[in-house]
Amino acid sequence: MTGRAEIERRLRAAGCVWAEDEAALILASGGDVEAKVARREAGEPLEIVLGYAVLAGIRVELDPGVFVPRRRSELLVRLAREQALRFTEPVVVDLCCGSGAVGVAVVAGLERYELHAADLDPVAVACARRNLEPFGGTAYVGDLYDALPPDLLADVIVANAPYVPSDEIALQPREARDHEPRTALDGGPDGVEVQRRVAAGAPERLSRGGVLLIETSAGQGPLTAAAVQAAGLAAAVVRDDDLDATVVVGRRPASRT
């Protein structure tokens, strides 16, 4: 078996900044360590190599070709959980769910809830179903709200929709551009194309007083907020500099007035 020092050397030579930590995780994961090191050297995301990721303290399984949760999404999870706690039995919907990490992290620890998730990619949904199963959630294949049961109303909708402008995909780290589906990254010409569709469909899918939360970037925050406002929701932009995270929160009025 390849020793830890040699694994660290190889990972460092491949450009892994945290080679020592990665070597420890690969060794601890067991299985064919040599094959895992070779995959990481080839640029495959560490989380895919390990077969799991951790978001907000919750571990989820990951399959090749599925979007890897980023730590910045902890802001989305934190804000969504705060909103979910306003409801006795919140209905939570995770759009563009990927592995389902955001949705399960939001409901983890809640006593009563209903969890649904949707993604256009069947590979992602197959992964999400395994992650949602212990939480009693359901994942659907389809395009945003069209994938959900037609009569479903949500109290909290979370969406980590793709928000990288199309022309900037080539500038993304190798792990993302070569090993994650383009549909999970490409947000159209200005990066807000999918977010606009998420916002436009939200009012018909939110309960009264329900909340839509969309992860975005600092630069695109105003565009995302404008899309949420155009849909008739009151919008606010929340920023966490430590996480380099930005979330737009849109709220449906609790009354008809």
- What is the per-residue pLDDT across 129-141, written as a single tens digit (0 to 9) for each? 999 999 999 999 9
Cβ neighbors of 30 (< 8 A, separation 6 or more) are: none
Q: Is the pLDDT of residue 257 over 50?
A: no
Mean pLDDT of 48-52: 95
> Cβ distance 205 to 154 under 8 Å?
yes
Q: What band does 173 get if pLDDT is binned at 50, 70 and 90?
A: confident
Long-range contacts at 135-144 (CB < 8 A, ≥ 24 apart): 135/104, 135/107, 135/108, 137/100, 137/103, 137/104, 137/107, 139/97, 139/100, 140/116, 142/118, 144/95, 144/96, 144/118, 144/197, 144/198, 144/201
Q: C-alpha distances in angstroms, 175 versus 25, 44, 56, 66, 220?
A: 18, 6, 21, 12, 23
Closest-CA residue to 83 (of 245, 214, 199): 214
- Report the chain's mean pLDDT, rounded to a whole number: 94
Q: C-alpha distances in angstroms, 161 versus 33, 41, 184, 220, 257?
A: 34, 29, 7, 13, 30
Percent of all residues in the chain with a pLDDT value above 70, rounded to a whole number: 98
Q: Is the pLDDT of residue 115 over 50?
A: yes
pLDDT, tens digit, 9 for 90 and up, residues 55-113: 999 999 999 999 999 999 999 999 999 999 999 999 999 999 999 999 999 999 999 99
Q: What band does 1 get if pLDDT is binned at 50, 70 and 90?
A: low
Q: What band does 174 get if pLDDT is binned at 50, 70 and 90?
A: confident
- Predicted pLDDT at 256: 59
Instruction: For the chain, give the number of residues.
Output: 257
